[in-house]
Every structure is written in C-alpha cells, then in structure tokens.
Amino acid sequence: MTDALPTSGGYAGQEWLQSHGGSLNAIDFVVRCVMGEKAFTGMVKVMGCSNTGPVAPIGTVTLQPMVHQSDGLGNLVPHGPIYNLPYLRVQAGGNALICDPVAGDIGVAVFCDRDTSAVQATGAPAGPGSNRRNDWQDGIYLGCIKAATPTTYISINQGTIAVVSPNAMTISTPNCTLDAAGNLTVTGGVKAGSGGADSVTLQHHTHSGGSPPTAGT
C-alpha cells in the first residue's frame, strides 16, 4: 500500500500518559473524548446575515468558529462555517430595536443540548429533529463582543442620551414625520418659544409688513 502508516515516530493522540494507569483513568479519557465532540459556547465570526434591508423579521446568520481544532501533534484545523443559525434581537411582539449582525462581527454563540430544527421550522413546540446533542448546527448567535468604535449609535450614559448618525435619519409616526431630507410634517400645531412671552405658532402667527412674526400670536 502506498499510503501505509509509518512505523517510526508513532502518532500523538489525545491520551495522557496516565490514561492507561487504571480503569478510572481510562473512563476519564473516554468521557473527555466524548465531551470534546460537543459544542456548548464559542467565540464566532459572522460571515453573512440573511437580512439586508432596514426592516425585516429576524433572519439567520452564517458563523465561523474562531478557535481552531487541534490534533495530538498540535496541528490546527479551522472549523467549517455553520449555516442558517438564528440570532438574538431585542424584540417583544412588534416592538424591536433593530441592529442585525454584519459580516465581520465577532461575537458569542451558544449551542442547545437538543436538535432544534423542528422548532425553528415551525415556531411551535416540537420534539427534537434527531438524536444529535450539543451540536454546532443548533447554535444561537447572541451578539457582538468585539468591534470597532461605532459611528452610528444611540448612547445612554450617566443620564445623557445621544442619537448620532453620519448619514440620513428618519423619524416617522402617524402624527409626525421627519424625513432624511430634513422635512418635518406634523398634523398638530407647531409653536416656538412655548410658554414664553415671545411664543409664536406656525399656523396662526401674524406679520406686520415684512417684520418678524408678532409675539404672542
């Protein structure tokens, strides 16, 4: 055979020197091998997200585990990507803070102890889709833990709230719209200097010739 194993040097496995020192050590070795095949929590990199629009239901992500696999000789083998995993969004009913994952984000994923495929497909309680346990495919991406300094953000810090966007910002409600061009539309009244002696309403103020609006109108 051309692919015969070499007879010198041997192969380094995952056993410890004491693994054959007794039955307890042997059982411990077997347990560690089984546990080593299970997924629990891991640092991952987002390779892609199914949501590309500004408003959409929660989608899925493709993740790449960041920590490589290692054999007995210390050779590193990268994990393959994990496809179609759900991710966490701050949402309750139809109320949401939408900030979907972006390719390149580095975050944390947790992995369920049962096959969640049937539940993910139906959105209803169901039995496990198979007998797999603690599998990479049953992960949930929890969010980003390592990223650059944000440029678009809402900051709440020591009693101060800041809303910052380097590009367009749109605020829209049934009674008021502030669009990306800076146009403000409201169904109610608009009053400047409300409560002061120089307060002026937008709809009902008066002018005298080319003078400024008359205070109190």
Identify which of 84-88, 132-136, 162-166, 185-189 has the greatest average pLDDT.
84-88
pLDDT at 17: 64
Share of the chain above pLDDT 70, in %: 90
Express each pLDDT in 52-81 by its tens digit: 778 899 999 999 999 998 877 778 899 999
Chain-wide mean pLDDT for the chain? 86
Q: Which domains does the chain have, with CATH numbers?
A: 23-146 (2.40.50.230), 167-217 (no CATH)
| pLDDT higher at 97 or 9 | 97
Asked if pLDDT for residue 161 goes beyond 60, the answer is yes
Asked if pLDDT for residue 16 goes beyond 60, the answer is yes
SS3 assignment for the chain:
CCCCCCCCCCCCCCCCCCCCCCHHHHHHHHHHHHHHCCCCEEEEEEEEECCCCCCCCCCEEEEEECCCEECCCCCEECCCCEEEEEECCEEECCEEECCCCCCCCEEEEEECCCCCHHHHHHCCCCCCCCCCCCCHHHEEEEEEEECCCCCCEEEEECCEEEEECCCCCCEEECCEEECCCCCEEECCCCEECCCCCCCEECCCCCCCCCCCCCCCC
pTM exceeds cut of 0.85: no
Express each pLDDT in 85-134 by its tens digit: 999 999 999 999 999 999 999 999 999 999 999 999 999 999 999 999 99
